Amino acid sequence: MAHLGSGRRRVLAVPVGLALTASLAFLPSVAASAAPLGTTADAATASKADTTGPKLSYVANLTAYGTAKQAQKAIERAGGTVVTAYEQIGVVVAHSQNPDFAKQLRAQRSLFVSVGATRTAPLQTVQTTDEGATQRLSEADAAKAAAAAQEGQEPLESNQWDLRTIKADQAHKINDGSPDVTVGIIDTGVDDTHPDLAANFSKEQSANCVGGVADTSEGAWRPYADGSDHGTHVAGTIAAPRNGVGISGVAPGVKIAAIKVSEPGTSLFFTEAVVCGFMFAAEKGIEVTNNSYYVDPWLYNCKSDDDQKALVEAIGRATKYAERKGTLHVASAGNSNHDLAADSILDDSSPNDTTPGPRTIDPKVCLDLPTQLPGVVTVSATGDQGLRSYYSSYGLGVVDVAAPGGDKWQVPATPDANGRVLSTVLGGGYGYKQGTSMAAPHVAGVAALLKSAHPSARPAQIQAMLKGQATKADCPSQIYDAAGALIDATTCESKWGQTGYYGHGVVDALKAVK
């Protein structure tokens, strides 16, 4: 998988035009083939457009004074077809085989702020931030854990060192969270038939957004038959109920919804699907979204590049719109062990849908999406010993909070002695994963507990409480490297009451419910 759990930081300024979208008369947010051209001249122009290139998907971001009618005509004249448009934020998704499609639209500066291809490979029939393969729990290990369970614990809870790290086990004695709060899992899909997820699953707030248009038909939100268990694992960490089955989630009383945005076969997450995911969450009244991925195909999207700039703009508009509607976004910081506050970073994995090549980027200009967008809570990962996980990206002033993501070198005193995070997987089973993908859902769960306790709180207020209630953590003297050796933690910086490894500290579920 290309990227689940990658890092994010906020440096994007939302354009003034975003506040003026009331002047835009947009197309409906439904799938659409090209509408009839308005004039014979339009038809003639469209027929002359070059269609010899690969079929790509594009996002076109309108100015405050552009209209849907103008946008559709311009797109069709350039040899494209409109897939959908989001009138609330001025973003249009289109397909075209014209190699100069984006260039031709960008020339119309009074209509488009930015236009960019969402991928470098042709469309075909996404990735995540877990580190390594799932270790499935065997029946023998499950029996051993159940034998070690104490009164009041779920059968496998003795292996959930992560819950105890953030005091979620103590929080459950006070409040499990409200069923009026929903966490939307923007991911590879969730198996809502899992016996440890079904009770808390909200079908009415779930969809498949692959391609850019929300499909709410029965089961569309589930993982593909050949798909990933990533979203299902995330779901269990957030809200597996306390029902005498398997594990417990951080917020076992809240609802979870699945918003699938990953492509079949590749599990890549493209912009048009992610924009759809944020917009769907906003319109369905979802209070928190969990984002344990980065948006493909670029690990970092550089605003100096015409295509990548458009992706930053489109996703930034979508996250900000959802935030204004009351949705808090939580995202993983990434598994590249990158310092997101550094002057430069070597990115040798982009674009991941074709042939990647090395490039040196400035993380202040080239953003990991969605984690580096304004208002998004950026989460680094820790292990059982409280040390930053060896793979986790970090950055002073970038990471907001930390949470358990697992670290195979930090071995807990549990029946399995497994330093990864145990949660639900496909087929009704359980398994261990590690990554910042596993850290983010712990924070999303705590945010859901806060929202349950403070139902009128806005996203910015919930974020402030997450930071203010976090358990402060100083820079450690040593951490584990990828080979399991203890090394000096020379890359950790402290300032403003924060550290680059842990931000404001490790989230605290008990404080959230008190």
Tokens matching residue 181: 């709060």
| Cα 213 to Cα 398: distance, rounded to the nearest angstrom | 32
Among 15-29, 181-195, 298-312, 372-386, the minimum mean pLDDT is found in: 15-29
Residue 510 scores a pLDDT above 70: yes
Q: Report the amino acid identity of residue 141.
A: D
CB 421 within 8 A of CB 237: yes
DSSP bridge pairs for 503: 499
Query: Is residue 23 very low, low, confident or very high in pLDDT (cuts 50, 70, 90)?
Result: very low
Q: What is the pLDDT of residue 3?
A: 54
What is the tens place of the pLDDT at every residue in 102-136? 999 999 999 999 999 999 999 864 344 456 678 88
Higher-scoring residue by pLDDT: 229, 265: 229
Average pLDDT over residues 440-460: 98
Q: What is the pLDDT of residue 364?
A: 95
- DSSP of 332-398: E--SS--BTTSS-EEE-S-STTS----EEE-TTTEE-TTTTSTTPEEEEEE-TTSPBPTT--B-TTT
Average pLDDT over residues 217-238: 95
Describe the crossing of helices 459-469 and 436-453 by its angle, rounded to 10 degrees. Answer: 110
What is the tens place of the pLDDT at every residue in 451-503? 999 999 999 999 999 999 999 999 999 999 999 999 999 999 999 999 999 99
Q: What is the pLDDT of residue 51?
A: 81
Query: Is residue 4 very low, low, confident or very high in pLDDT (cuts 50, 70, 90)?
Result: low
CB-count burial class (<10 Å; 0-12, 13-18, 19+) for 254: buried
| Cα 341 to Cα 69: distance, rounded to the nearest angstrom | 42
- DSSP of 445-471: HHHHHHHHH-TT--HHHHHHHHHHHSB
| Cα 34 to Cα 81: distance, rounded to the nearest angstrom | 5
Q: What is the pLDDT of residue 372?
A: 97
DSSP bridge pairs for 379: 332, 401
Average pLDDT over residues 148-166: 92
140: phi > 0 → left, psi -120 to 50 → alpha, else beta; which? alpha
What is the tens place of the pLDDT at every residue in 170-216? 999 999 999 999 999 999 999 999 999 999 999 999 999 999 999 99
What is the tens place of the pLDDT at every residue in 234-273? 999 999 999 999 999 999 999 999 999 999 988 999 999 9
pTM of the model: 0.90
Tokens matching residue 57: 């998907």
Q: What is the pLDDT of residue 20?
A: 28
Q: What is the pLDDT of residue 505?
A: 98
Residue 90 scores a pLDDT above 80: yes
